[in-house]
Structure 1
Amino acid sequence: MFTHRIDDADHVKLEVWSAPGRTKPTFEEAMKQDFKPAKKGLITGGKSRLKFQQSGKSTSVFSVRLFAMFVDLPNSIPVEFDPGCEAMIFTTSGVPLQGITGGFEGDRRVEFILDKTKREYSFVIESSCNGMFGISGIQNRYFTLASADLVVPNQDAWHLFWDFTTLREIIDTLPGNSPLQNIALRTANEIMNEFQVDDPDTIAKCRKIAENVFGANWAKEGADVYQKRREGHGADREQVWGIGHCHIDTAWLWPYSVTQQKVARSWSTQVDLMNRYPEHHFTCSSAQQYKWLEQLYPSLFEEVKSKIKQGLFEPIGGAWVEHDGNMPSGEAFIRQMTFGQRFFQSRFGIRCRTGWLPDSFGLSGSIPQLMRSAAYFTTLEHLIFHIPDPRTDTYTAQATTGDVRKAVTNHKNLESSDMGLLVFGNGDGGGGPLAKMLENVSPVRFTRIAGVPAHIVGWLRRVRAAGNNSRELKGEWLWICTPQLVSLASLTSDSFAITKIFQGMASCIWRGKRSFMRTERIYTPVHSGSDPIRQLVATLASLTAGYLYPKQRIDDSWEKLLLNQFHDGNVTPTRAQISCLIYVYVNCLVLPGSAIGMVYEDAEKLYSEITKECKSILEEAFDTLLVGSTPIDLNTPFEISTPGKVLAVNTTPFPRREVVQVPLRSSGDKSLRTAAVQITSDSQTGYVLMDARDGVGIAQPIGLFADVKPVSGKFRNAQIGVERLYSKEFYRFSEIIPMTFQCSRELIAPGKTGGLIIFSDQPNYWDVEIHHLEKFTQLEFNDVRILENGPVRASVEAQVKYGQSLITTTVNEALIEPSHIVEIPLDIRGLEATYECQFGHVSRPTHRNTTWDTAKFEYADFSEYGYGVALLSESKYGFAVTGNVLRVSLLRAATSPDAEQDQGEHSFSWAVLPHLGHFLESDVPQVAYTFNSPLHLRYVPDQGSDGYGAVSNLVHKPLFNVTGAPNVILETVKRGDDDDFSTNSKGERTIVLRLYEAFGGHARASLNVSKKLKVSKAAITNVLEDHIEDLKVDNSDDQVVSFPLKFRGFEVVTVKLTVSLNKAQHKSYVAYHVIRSGLLKNYCF
Structure 2
Amino acid sequence: MHDDDQLTIGRATRVLRERILPAVHGPAVPLRVERAELPGEPLPVAEALALDYAPDAPGRPWGPAWGTTWFRLTGEVPAEWAGRRVEVVIDLGFDSSMPGFQAEGLLHRVDGTPLKAIAPRNAWALVAEPAAGGEPVELYLEAASNPVLLDIERAPFLPTEQGDPETASREPLYRTRRFDLAVFEPEVFALGLDVDVLVGLQAELPPGPRRARILQALDDALDRLDLQDVVGTAAAARGALAPVLAAPAEQSAHRVSAVGHAHIDSAWLWPTRETVRKVARTAASMTRLLEEDPAFVYGMSSAQQYAWIRQHRPEVWERVKAAVAAGRFVPLGGMWVESDTVMPTGEAIVRQFAQGQRFFERELGVRCSGVWLPDSFGYSPALPQLMRRAGFSWFFTQKISWNQVNRFPHHTFEWEGIDGSRVLTHFPPMETYNAELSGAELAKASRGFQEARRASGSIAPVGWGDGGGGTTREMAGRAARLADLEGSPRVAWEHPDAFFARAREELPTPPVWVGELYLELHRATLTSQHRTKQGNRRNEQLLIEAEAWATTAAVRAGTPYPRAELDDLWQRLLLLQFHDILPGTAIAWVHREAVAEHARIAAEALGLIDRSLAALVGEGDREIVVNPATSERSGVAALGAAVASPAPEAAVSLEPRDGGWVLDSGALRVVVDARGLVTSAVDVTTGRDAVPAGCAANLLQLHQDLPNLWDAWDVDRHYRNRVTDLVDLERMTAEVGEDGVARVRLVRRFSRSVLEEELSLAPGSRTLELDLATEWHETEQLLKLAFPLDVRAAHSTAETQFGVQQRVTHVNTSWEAARFETSMHRFVLVEEPGFAVALVNDSTYGYDLTREADGDGIVTTVRLSLLRAPRFPDPRTDQGRQTHRAGLVVGTDVRHATDEGVAMNAPLRRVRGARGFAPLVTLTAEALLSAVKLADDGSSDLVVRLYEPVGRRAEAVLRVDAPVTAARTVDLLEGPLPEAEPVDLQDGAVRLRLGPFEVRTLRLHLAGR
Shift of 1:545: 5.2
Q: Are residues 616 and 782 of structure 1, via their aligned partners in 2, closer, same or farther at CA, if it must alter by over 3 Å?
A: closer
Q: String of CA shifts for 1:963-1018, please: whole Å, max 9, x gaps.
A: 4xx442222111111134xxxxxxxx2111111121222223232333xx111110
Match of 2:128 in 1: 114
C-alpha separation in 2, matches of 1:854 and 1:777: 23
Among 458, 467, 480, the alignment partner of 1:420 is: 458
User: Does 2:987 correspond to 1:1051?
Assistant: no
- Structure 1 residue 467 and structure 2 residue 513: aligned? no
- 1:968 corresponds, among 909, 924, 927, to 927
* Cα distance per residue 1:869-901 (max 9 Å; x no partner): 111011111112222111111110110100111
**Counterpart for residue 908 of structure 1:** 884
SS in 2 for 1:1046: strand
Amino acid at match of 1:466: A
Distance 1:692 1:774, change over 3 A: same
CA distance, structure 1, for counterparts of residue 463 and residue 474 of structure 2: 10
2:641 maps to a residue whose letter is G
Distance 1:524 1:190, change over 3 A: same
Is the aligned partner of 1:597 residue 2:583? no
* 1:196–1:202 Cα contact (<8 Å) kept: yes
CA distance in 1, matches of 2:663, 2:716: 37
Moved more, 401-410 or 463-472: 463-472
User: 1:732 maps to what in 2?
Assistant: 674
1:1018 to 967, 977, 980: 967
Is the CA contact (8 Å cut-off) linking 1:1018 and 1:1031 kept in structure 2? no
Contact 2:82 2:131 in 1 (8 A): no
Is 2:68 aligned against 1:95?
A: no
Q: Which runs of 5+ in 1 are unaligned?
A: 50-57, 219-228, 474-488, 528-535, 569-589, 630-643, 658-690, 941-948, 981-988, 1063-1085
For residues 848 and 525 of structure 1, the distance between their equivalents in structure 2, rounded to whole angstroms, comes to 41
For 1:861, which of 807, 811, 829 is the aligned residue? 829
Asked if the contact 1:408/1:418 (under 8 Å) is kept, the reply is: no
Q: Residue 453 of structure 1 aligns with which residue?
A: 489
* Contact 2:26 2:185 (C-alpha < 8 Å) held by counterparts: no
1:63 aligns with: 72
| Cα distance in 2 between the residues matched to 1:695 and 1:1022 | 22
- Which digits, 9 at most, give the CA deviation of each residue in 1:215-245, with x for residues without a partner? 17x9xxxxxxxxxx9xxxx957771111110
1:793 maps to 2:751: no
| Per-residue Cα deviation, 1:257-295 (whole angstroms, up to 9, x for no partner) | 100000010110011111111111100000000001001
Alignment of 1:144-163 (within 5 A): 144-163=175-194
- Which residue in 1 is equivalent to 2:481? 443
- Aligned-partner Cα distance in 1 for 2:439–2:371: 27
The equivalences for 1:167-316 within 5 A come to 167-174=198-205, 176-200=206-230, 202-215=233-246, 239-316=255-332
State whether structure 2 residue 641 is matched by structure 1 residue 625: no
Q: Mark the CA change 1:594 to 1:470 in structure 2 (over 3 Å): closer, same or farther.
A: farther
Aligned residue identity for 1:542: A
Q: How do 1:822-837 residues align onto structure 2 when only pairs under 5 Å count?
A: 822-837=785-800
Residue 867 of structure 1 aligns to which amino acid in structure 2? F
Work out the CA distance in 2 between the residues paired with 1:186 and 1:193.
11
Aligned residue in 2 for 1:321: 337
Following the alignment from structure 1 to structure 2, what is the Cα–Cα distance between the partners of residues 974 and 739?
Answer: 41
User: Residue 660 of structure 2: which of 716, 719, 730 is its match?
Assistant: 719
Give the counterpart letter for 1:214 in structure 2.
Answer: L
Distance 1:178 1:713, change over 3 A: farther
Distance 1:753 1:178, change over 3 A: farther
2:408, 2:210 → 1: CA distance? 32
User: What is the alpha-carbon distance in structure 2 between the residues aligned to residue 133 and residue 70 of structure 1?
Assistant: 44
Contact 1:16–1:60 (CA<8 Å) still a contact in 2? yes
Judge conservation of contact 2:784–2:864 (CA < 8 Å) in 1.
yes
Q: For 1:166 and 1:4, locate their aligned partners in 2 and report how far apart those are by CA, in whole Å.
A: 20
Paired AA for residue 270 in structure 2: W
Q: CA RMSD in A?
A: 2.5
Describe the shift of the 1:692–1:270 C-alpha distance in structure 2 as closer, same or farther (beyond 3 A): same
Query: What do residues 364-417 of structure 1 show as CA deviations (whole Å, max 9, x unaligned)?
Result: 111121111222111111132222223333422412132123222222233452
**TM-score when normalising by structure 2:** 0.85
The residue number in structure 2 matching 1:1009 is 960
Residue in 1 that maps onto 2:550: 538
Distance 2:83 2:946 in 1: 66
- The alignment partner of 2:532 has SS state of helix
Whole-angstrom distance in 2 between the partners of 1:86 and 1:37: 21
Whether the 8 Å contact between 1:80 and 1:112 is mirrored in structure 2 is no
What pairs up with 1:491-502 in 2 under 5 angstroms? Answer: 495-502=515-522
Q: Indicate the SS of the match to 2:80.
A: coil
Amino acid at match of 1:181: R
Contact 1:251-1:599 at 8 Å conserved across structures: yes
Note closer, same or farther for the CA distance 1:299–1:793 as it changes in structure 2 (3 Å cut): same
Query: 1:1033, CA displacement in angstroms?
Result: 6.5
**TM-score of the superposed pair, with normalisation by structure 1:** 0.79
Aligned partners of 1:275, 1:524: CA distance in 2, in Å?
45
Matching residue of 1:580? none
2:712 and 2:331 mapped to 1: Cα distance?
31
C-alpha distance in 1, partners of 2:261/2:756? 50
Match of residue 408 from structure 1: 446
Partner-residue secondary structure (3-state), 2:891: strand
Q: Sequence identity of aligned pairs in percent? A: 27
Pick aligned residue for 2:600 from 594, 609, 620: 609
1:108 CA drift (Å) = 4.5
SS in structure 1 of the partner of residue 402 of structure 2: coil
Q: Is the 8 A contact 1:378 1:464 kept in 2?
A: no
Secondary structure of residue in 1 paired with 2:642: strand
Q: CA deviation at 1:793?
A: 0.2
Structure 2 residue matching 1:71: 3-state secondary structure: helix
Q: Residue 26 of structure 1 corresponds to which residue in structure 2?
A: 44
**C-alpha displacement at 1:187, in angstroms?**
2.9
The residue that corresponds to 1:511 in the other structure is: 531
Q: Number of matched residues?
A: 902
Q: Deviations over 1:523-542 (max 9, x none)?
A: 22111xxxxxxxx2110111
Deviation at 1:2, TM superposition (A): 3.1
CA-CA distance at 1:131 after TM superposition: 5.3
Q: Compared with structure 1, are the counterparts of its residues 318 and 275 closer, same or farther at alpha carbon in structure 2 (3 Å cutoff)?
A: same
Work out whether residues 254 and 457 of structure 2, in 8 Å CA contact, stay in contact via their aligned partners in 1: yes
Distance 2:706 2:537 in 1: 27
**Segment drifting more, 803-812 vs 778-787:** 778-787
How far residue 703 of structure 1 moved from its aligned partner, in angstroms, is: 4.0
- One-letter identity of the residue aligned with 1:168: V
Q: Could you tell me which amino acid in structure 1 is paired with residue 552 of structure 2?
A: L
**In 2 relative to 1, CA 700–972 (structure 1 residues): closer, same or farther, beyond 3 Å?**
same
| CA–CA distance in structure 2, aligned partners of residues 31 and 306 of structure 1 | 27
Aligned-pair distance for 1:851?
2.5
User: SS at 1:593's partner residue?
Assistant: coil
Q: Is the 8 A contact 2:301 2:331 kept in 1?
A: yes
**Match among 328, 343, 346 for residue 330 of structure 1:** 346
Which residue pairs with 1:747 in the alignment? 690
Deviations 1:611-630 (A, max 9, x none): 2322222122111101025x
Q: 2: distance between equivalents of 1:929 and 1:177?
A: 65
